[in-house]
Structure 1
Amino acid sequence: MLYVLAFLATSPASAQQSGGNDALRVTVSQNNDGSTTTYEMDPANRKATATTVSAAGKPVSKTRYVLDDVGRFTSGEVLGPGDKLQFKTRYKYDASGRLWEETRLTSDDVVTMKLVYAYDEKGRPAGYAVYDGSGKLLGQTRAAAPSAPAASQGAKPRRNPGR
């Protein structure tokens, strides 16, 4: 395999190995602190990796993901220096394929946090709820309702009294 990476100072650089829909995609981003994150998507093998190295070239973190048959994340492992497992993440999707639940676990599979996403009747993100490891609700957000056009809110055309 031949990879060609182009590094740009102001925007992420990317390279892609051609080969249909299952092409290995590599994107490299320069972060504000000088570190670099490399993203590799490998749909053919159902995996993805994000690796960050410091400006000095030392490993900072690595996240390994497993993808399902349509390319969505099903699980992830966040590794620190020395590839030490920091935590795991599991992802679940609703019948429409939208992210429904994101669960963070320890290396021993103990749940530490859960995010549950909500969608409105049109399938737009409507907010999320955050739970601790025991299932206690810690907080939630709700998206603001989309504002209707002025005409549908009962606004009347302005008259020009001088004419």
Structure 2
Amino acid sequence: MLKITVANDAPVENTSATDEARVVTIDKKPEGWLIGESLFDGDMVQIRENLYHLIWKNKSYNIEILGSNPADKSFRLLINGAEYFTTAKDRLDLLLEGMGLQNSDSKKVNNVKAPMPGLIQSVAVGEGDQVSKGDILLVLVAMKMENVIKSSGNGTIRSLKVAPGEIVEKNQVLMEFQ
């Protein structure tokens, strides 16, 4: 089973912290894939890397993966021109959450390292800024994909080690926290 949380029915730029999140459950059954309570009887074709076309319930969807963060299983998607932010939880995540063992929101961050080599496209924070878990720190472009790097905990940025346009190596320190 996989649970996908969509920030809202509205595009990302129209969402706020008070908006309700929509949770969609996807489960593999012997008869096929269940999306919520509906059996998926549609068709999906990969057009090119990170671009898909989906037909389901007589509707057509163009889906592009704009960025992803494997660490927190989050994705930025462009669906028919509207941008969405999603997160996914697999069986293990759901089991840990049910046992009360999910990550604490108050996790202390010491520094942020590059998860892969790439190009720093933009930096969303500055020295002295307070950040919370989940806040966007920067965008790293690798293999033609934009990867949004988010804070894994709370803290204050002590120093930025990179600027937009710089090329970084895997595990290079991008910023340090106090």
Q: Whose RCO is larger (CA < 8 A, sep 6+)? A: 2
TM range (shorter): under 0.3
- The two structures have a TM-score, normalised by structure 2, of 0.25
